[in-house]
Amino acid sequence: MKIGYARVSSQSQNLARQIEELKNYGCEYIFEEKVSGKNFDRPEYKRLRKKLRFGDILVVHDLSRFGRNKEEIMSEWKSLVDDNIDIVVLNLPVLNTAQYKDVEGIGKLVSDIFLSVMSWLVEEERLRIKTAQRQGIDIAKKKGKYKGREIKYRPDTPNPTDRLVYETIVDMLNRNESVMDIHRRTGVARMTIYRIKKELKETTKGIK
């Protein structure tokens, strides 16, 4: 069975292109996720991992969708291969473990070397972006223009959709529903839900 995994780093990004390419490749199931790829501690990826069985094929659009931490990419890749799960990276045909099953020596060696190099490049790109962001913030602070990231979900937000989401989160917290259940229903990051929960605790004793 071909199972796809589509991921972007934030709620504002779109998964449509990845999903379309995964469907075109013949994926029967596609797990979608909007969360950072800095590690593999992701709810949907964990669900995907539990579903994968001997002989299945995990398909991703590009290696950065799989993850952005070199050591963890290499470790997870090996774990999947050891479980007899094949991996296909659509934009890098050389990273297709199925094509090396009956090939010993040079074929697999080329794949392993290429994976090592590409995972390193993916991590370097993540670090480059983070460095550029920090530098931009430092420059803005020096100019007195940096105000920090605007809080999207808050009681006084001018956006009615965001306010509705905020009120839904508060209502679910007041009913003692778990952060994970709220995350699954609303799509809001767990850290944001924890932040709202903490704020509510500071103003009311009704949430435990």
Degrees, nearest 5: CA angle 203-204-205: 140
Contacts of 64 (CB under 8 A, 6+ apart): 37, 122, 125, 126
Tell me the mean pLDDT per 10 residues along the chain, length 208: 92 89 95 88 93 94 82 85 89 78 54 64 63 64 61 82 88 90 89 89 61
Contact 192, 14 (CB under 8 A): no
Residue 3, pLDDT score: 97
Domains delineated in the chain:
2-122 (3.40.50.1390), 160-203 (1.10.10.60)
Residue 106, pLDDT score: 44
> Beta partners for 89?
60
How far apart, in whole angstroms, are the C-alpha atoms of residue 70 and residue 122? 7
Residue 93, pLDDT score: 79
Please say if 9 is a catalytic residue.
yes
The reported pTM is: 0.56
Catalytic hit among 9, 116, 119, 178:
9
Residue 7, pLDDT score: 92
